[in-house]
Chains A and B, each alone.
Chain A
Amino acid sequence: MRRICLILPLAVASLVAWVLHPETISAQAPQGASYKETLPGSKVSFDMQAIPGGTFLMGTPEGEAGRAADEGPQHEVELKPFWMGKCEVTWDEFDVYWKSEDQPNARKDEPAASKADAITRPTPAYADETFGHGRDGNPVICITHHTAMEYCRWLSRKTGKWYRLPTEAEWEYACRAGTKTAYSFGNDPATVGDYGWFADNSEELAKKVGQKKPNPWGLHDMHGNVMEWCVDHYEKDAYARFAMNKLSVRPVVMPSEKRFSHVARGGSWADKPVSLRSGARRGSDKSWIRLDPQRPQSIWWLTSAEFVGFRVVRPLEEQTELVGLRSKVTKQSP
C-alpha cells in the first residue's frame, strides 16, 4: 500500500511532465530515497537528494539570451541515478575535515599526498579563510578543485559511501531538473532573486546556504551564491566532441595533474543573472589565485576566488572511469 502511494504520485508527475516536457519521459524513478548524512564524530549533517537517472539535452539552445559559444552544440546525454547534496558544502562540514586531528596537515615543504593512500588536509591559511563572508552555515569558498576532491575522498572514507564532485553533465542535469528554460524556474531573469544570490541582492557576500527556493528536484542555490566545482577539466569545445555521438552516456572530461582549468557552474553572488543560467559554463583560471604571493602557489587555497565552492554527489553505481577517482595535483603540478 505504501509503495503504491509512492509510485502513484510519481506516475502522475511523470505524465504531467511528459505533456509539458516530452523529453523528461525517459527519466527513471529514483532508485534510492533522499537521506541525511551525519559526519562521523560530529553533530554536523547534510542532506542528499535522490536524483533519477534519465536523458536530457545538455547545453544551451541557440537564441537563448546570453548564450556563449562554449554552451553548444546541444547534445543528448544519458545519466544514471545519483544523489546530490541539497545544499553547497558549508564551512561547518569542511571544518570537520580540515580541523580533524586524525590525518596530517599538508606541509609547505613536502609534496602533498606523499604517501600513496594518505588523505591530507589543507595547509593553514595565511589569512581569514572566509574573507569576511561568514562561517556558520555559509558555503566554503576560496578552495581549489584539488581541495574539494580531497574533501570528497575524506568524506568517502569517513562514511563508507562513495562521494565525489558531480560531473559537469550531472551538474547541469540536476540544475535543469527536467526544465529546458534558461533557469530552472523559467526564462525571466527578474525572478532570479527568489531562487538565488547574485550581484544585485548579495551585497557582495556569499550567503548561508538553503535560504532561497529550491529547484524542481529540491536542490538549493544551484543558481548563484557560489559557483560549484565539477569533476571535469574545462574545455570550451567539449560539447562539440560529445555531440558527435548520438547519445553520450555519462560524459566527463577527466581531471589530470594540471591545476587549471576546471569547470565551475551556477554563477555566484558576484555575477549578473546571465551567468546563473542552467547552461552557463565557467572555467577556472590563474586570476583566481593571483593574490597568492608564494611560489609554488598553494594547491589548497584560491585566494582570489571568493565566489567558488562545491557540492557533493554520490552515484548509485559509479561509472568505470571514475572508480577510485582522486586528485592527481601535487605541489609540482603545472
Chain B
Amino acid sequence: MARSGSLNRRSVLKTGAAAAALSALPASLYATASEKPIRVGLVGCGGRGTGAAHNVLHAAPNVTVVAVGDAFEGQAKGCQSRLNDIAKNDAKVKELGNKVNLPDGSVFWGLDAYKKVINHPDVDYVILATPPGFRPLHITEAVNAGKNVFTEKPVGVDGPGIRAVLKAFEVANEKKLGTAAGTQRRHQKAYIETIKQIHDGAIGELVTGRVYWNQGILWSRPRKEGMTDLQYQMWNWYNYSWICGDHIVEQHVHNLDVLNWCFREHPKAVVAMGGRSRNKPEYGHIFDFFSAQIEYSGDRHCISMARQISNCWNSVTEYVSGTKGNSHVGGFSINGKPALDRAAVRNATDPYVQEHTDLIESIRKGQPINELKNVAESTLTAIMVRESAYTGQRITWEQALASNKVYLDVANLSDNMVLPEWKVAVPGTTQLS
C-alpha cells in the first residue's frame, strides 16, 4: 500500500503540469498513504507536555496521539480534554489529517503511569515531558521498549542519570530508534545558519564565549489540601534539586548547549559560584544565582551566568568570540551584521514543531537521528556548574560523570514515603560524593 502510493506519486511527477497541480494539493492528500503512521504516547501532561503533543500534531501528516499519562489525575484528564479540543478545532491539525484518539482507557495517572504509556502496544513515539528528575528512568524505559523518543530537556539531574542516558544513546543506536531533544535551538533555522558560519570560520578559531539566563524569580505552588510530602514536592517541582536539577540545569542548559555546539565539544572543567537570597520555604532549597567559568580544550574559558532574582539586569542569550571577531549567536549576528535575512528568521518554522518534523522525517527515511548524547552532555555541563557552586570545588568532566551522588531514587517512590530534609547547599561543606 505504502509502496504503490509513492510509485503513483513518482509517475504523476513526470509531467510538469501535473506536478504543479499536485503541489497545490494539501499535504495530507498525497503524503499520508505513503507515510509510516506515528502513534504518540505522552508522559507528563503539564503545559509543556500538552504543548509538545500539540506541536507533534503540526509536525507531519499521519500522526495520532494514542495515550497520555501523568502522576496527577487532574493533569492527565485536563490534557485529554485539551488535546480533544485541539483535534476538533485546530485547522492545521485537521489539514494534516492528524488525530487524537484518547478513550478513557488510554489516559493514565499515578507514579507508574509512565510505564503504561511507554509500554502501550499502540505507541511507537513517546514524548517525555515530566520534570527533569524522572528523565533518565523514562528514557531508559522507552528505548528498552523499542520506542522512538522525543525528550524534553534537561535529561537528568545527576551523574548516574546522565550515565543512564548515555547508555540509552547506545541502545537507541543499536535498535535504530530515533531520538530528539527539546533543546530546540538545534532545530531553529536562525541558530543553525549562524553556528554553521561560525564553524565555517566566520570569526576564526573560537577563543571564548559568554552565555546568560538572567531573569526574575519564577514560580512556586502552594500545597493543596491532603497532599503528601512527595505529592507536594512533585507539584512544586521547580524548587527541589532532586526533581528540577536547580534552574541552572532546568533552563540554562539551553545556553550551555549552544556553547557546546559552537565549541563542538563538552567542557573539561568548571569553577562556579552561587547562592540564594530568597528564604521562603515554598521556594525549596535551590539557589537563585550561579556564575561560572567553563573551561574548554586549549585553555579556552567561557563565562556563564544564571540568575532568577527580580529587578536585576536580565539577559537570555549567547555570545562567542574568535580570532577574527565576535558573534552574538542568540541575536543571529556575526561581527555586528545579521548572519541571515531577518525575514527568514521571522518566517522560519516554529522550532518546537520543527524538532518533531526532523525526528519523524528521519524515522520515516529509515535513518533515525539520535540526539541523546548531545543533550546528555549539555545537561551534564549544567550539572557541573551546579555542583561546583554547591560544593565550592572545581569539578572536572570525569568527576561529574563518575559521581554517585543521587538525590532520590525516583524508580522507587511511594506517595507516603519519608523524604530527606533538603538543605540549602553550603560551599566548602557540601560534598559531591
A residues within 8 Å of B by Cβ?
Answer: 99, 107-109, 123-130, 132, 135, 204, 270, 290-297, 334
Specify which chain B residues have a CB less than 8 angstroms from the CB of A124 in the assembled complex: 216-219
B196 sits at the interface (CB 8 A): no
Q: Among A135, A270, A293, find the residue whose CB has the most chain B CB atoms closer than 10 A.
A: A293
Q: From residue B347, how far is it (CB to closest CB) to chain A in Å?
A: 9
Specify which chain B residues have a CB less than 8 angstroms from the CB of A294 in the assembled complex: 47-48, 50-51
Additional A-B contact list (15), CB under 8 Å, known A128-B215, A296-B47: A107-B219, A128-B314, A128-B316, A132-B315, A270-B342, A291-B351, A293-B48, A293-B52, A294-B50, A294-B51, A295-B47, A295-B51, A295-B53, A295-B86, A334-B89
**5 A-B residue pairings within 8 Å (CB atoms):** A124-B217, A124-B218, A126-B218, A128-B315, A296-B47
Q: Among A129, A130, A135, A295, find the residue whose CB has the most chain B CB atoms closer than 10 A.
A: A295
Specify which chain A residues have a CB less than 8 angstroms from the CB of B325 in the assembled complex: none
In the bound complex, how far is the Cα of B19 from the Cα of A196, in angstroms? Answer: 47
> Do the beta carbons of A296 and B82 come within 8 Å of each other?
yes
Q: From residue B342, how far is it (CB to closest CB) to chain A in Å?
A: 7
> Do the beta carbons of A125 and B215 come within 8 Å of each other?
yes
Specify which chain B residues have a CB less than 8 angstroms from the CB of A132 in the assembled complex: 315, 317, 331
Interface string of B48-86 (1 = CB under 8 A from A): 101111110000000000000000000000000010001
How many A-B pairs have beta carbons closer than 8 Å: the answer is: 63
> Do the beta carbons of B314 and A295 come within 8 Å of each other?
no
Specify which chain A residues have a CB less than 8 angstroms from the CB of B279 in the assembled complex: none
In the bound complex, how far is the Cα of B211 from the Cα of A316, in angstroms? Answer: 50
> Do the beta carbons of B52 and A204 come within 8 Å of each other?
no
In the bound complex, how far is the Cα of B342 from the Cα of A323, in angstroms? Answer: 42
> Do the beta carbons of B342 and A204 come within 8 Å of each other?
yes
Specify which chain A residues have a CB less than 8 angstroms from the CB of B219 in the assembled complex: 107-108, 123-124
Size of the chain B interface, CB-CB below 8 angstroms: 32
Specify which chain A residues have a CB less than 8 angstroms from the CB of B213 in the assembled complex: 127
Interface string of B177-202 (1 = CB under 8 A from A): 00000001000000000000000000
B221 sits at the interface (CB 8 A): yes
Specify which chain A residues have a CB less than 8 angstroms from the CB of B216 in the assembled complex: 124-125, 129
Nearest A residue (CB) for B251? A126
Nearest A residue (CB) for B222? A107
> Do the beta carbons of B352 and A291 come within 8 Å of each other?
yes
Specify which chain B residues have a CB less than 8 angstroms from the CB of A204 in the assembled complex: 342
In the bound complex, how far is the Cα of B75 from the Cα of A109, in angstroms? Answer: 10
B431 sits at the interface (CB 8 A): no
Nearest A residue (CB) for B50? A295
> Do the beta carbons of B221 and A109 come within 8 Å of each other?
yes
Specify which chain B residues have a CB less than 8 angstroms from the CB of A126 in the assembled complex: 215, 218, 251
In the bound complex, how far is the Cα of B52 from the Cα of A132, in angstroms? Answer: 27
Specify which chain A residues have a CB less than 8 angstroms from the CB of B221 in the assembled complex: 107-109
Q: From residue B374, how far is it (CB to closest CB) to chain A in Å?
A: 19
Q: From residue A52, how far is it (CB to closest CB) to chain B in Å?
A: 39
Specify which chain A residues have a CB less than 8 angstroms from the CB of B53 in the assembled complex: 295
In the bound complex, how far is the Cα of B216 from the Cα of A125, in angstroms? Answer: 8
In the bound complex, how far is the Cα of B184 from the Cα of A334, in angstroms? Answer: 26
Specify which chain A residues have a CB less than 8 angstroms from the CB of B416 in the assembled complex: none
Specify which chain A residues have a CB less than 8 angstroms from the CB of B331 in the assembled complex: 132
